[in-house]
Structure 1
Amino acid sequence: MTTRTEPSATALHDIPGPVTRRRHRIYSVASTVLILAVIGWVVFLLLDTGQFAAAKWTPFAYKGIQELLLRGLGNTLKAFGYAAVLSLVLGAVLAVGRLSDHRIVRWIAAVLVEFFRAMPVLVMIFFVFVALRVQPLPALVAGLTLYNGSVLAEVFRTGINSVDRGQREAAYALGMRKTQVTTYVLAPQAVRAMLPTIISQLVVALKDTSLGYLITYEEFLHAGKLIASNLDYDLPFIPVVMVISPIYIGMCMLLSWFATWVARQERRSPKTKAVEVAPAEPGTLLPGAR
């Protein structure tokens, strides 16, 4: 009976020895102490300036302030929902244009992508709001869609092109059309590689909804600004930031968690495990073929 032993090293790096492990522990402890010291210093400053005084937090118990914050949060999620869906659609359309066999279509799509990627989001939002004279919500959604859609177009195009060239050639050899190759062969394999970048860009879109307060859209940050500037409540700026910031961070973390969950489900799904083009049986119809 043979006993299998674990290798002492891999092809990429050596397993750390006792000295290296001890050094890593020292670095970890030192980093933890430094982080705790910074957090303690910040908490001390907040205590020293009276930011945790009960009088400064009591207004959050008022129903009017709670309703204002909830309404602002709902408006933020509404703008993000519209912008996320439209950005994905626009990104897919522009990616198809960039991958087109027609030179004029590729050129137009490339110009649009590069133009909207280069334009600051705030400039596009102000242009739609002021020049086109539309309401704050459509102006905010339009600006976010044009920018994030153009970025996602490059993500989609790169993801499709990153699939092994042999998959594409094998699909064409079976007589599949380009639409079929992209839909049934390339996209299923590319989606797992693209998903983290897509979610990261959607997180950017979620955070950029805060630009809506500059065009008087009553989103979450706008609600916090109204509360902090209302002298009737005597509520300073810092407590408002301490309430709004964790909610923004929580929404971004929830979106990242959702991306991780979707990626895990994709890896477990038999439909997305090593999607490859296999030789077709005689008489077998290809997807969408007549």
Structure 2
Amino acid sequence: MNDWIQLLFSKFKSVSGVLIIILVIVEWSILFFTRKIESNKEGFVNILSYVLQTIPYVFFGKVLILGTMMWVYEYRLFTLGYNWYIWVLAYFVYDFMFYVLHYIGHKVRFFWCIHGVHHTAEEMKLTVAVRGSFLIFLHMPHTVLWLPIFGFDPFMIFIIELIAALYGLYEHASEKLVGRHVWLEHILITPSLHRVHHAKNHKYLDTNYGETFSIWDRMFGTLQKELDSDKPIYGLMGDSIDSKSIWQIQVVLWTELWRDINNASKWTDKVKYIFMYPGWNHIDGGKKATEYRLEALLKDAVNKKQNVTN
């Protein structure tokens, strides 16, 4: 059975890779010829980022990721097999792990320097799905790395990861081509919900972490629907990074972290800059993204109440 699932993974990987390329080309062509695309250069930077983040996987992927997963599988707590319900369970477990790692990517400065690259895009389109840091191998592989301990075949996890990645690609579709699927938002992270996740509007900050299912965001209070009154504005708060510069999107977050570490005199503060939330500082503690969000929601509620009163 293990040989069969390895063959299935190999075939599916090839098909999914071709499908991703086709979908990206089709969307890009439609946006270009209908003149709905804002920046071709940003799209090229997205693809170049994908090339950069792929290089470490080419050299270390089989040795570190697959090797670790196969080793963990040897010490699995259960032997779950390959029944259809095990595939469903594995998908839900994988998606929960994605939620956790994604959440950490927004809450820990070190991992934000990696994940934040993905959020530097200022226009939503399919190529944004592959816009990532060259150091992403230090972060997101943990989504799958330890799942075999529960008895999931590593190649089963790889297949599920590919399926999830295809859906994740769709989530980045341009709002000029894909609107809202309100009824699906009860179950899935739709393109609209994921556009909210990419927005720097204060009401939208640090929400919608799921990759496929919205149930985790509902359970942990991080779900935010797109509001008619607030069109998502993409990019990072502060506008300190040129989204069309491959150098800036890959390096500036790290240089800013290094500057903050150097400015701190205490070693404890230097360490805190690495592990505390983005925006933390050693002078007054800084401000969390959730605080900006709560302030914006409160201000909106007050304005609505005043409008009703008037």
Regarding TM over 0.5, the answer is: no
TM-score norm. by structure 1 comes to 0.27
Larger radius of gyration: 1
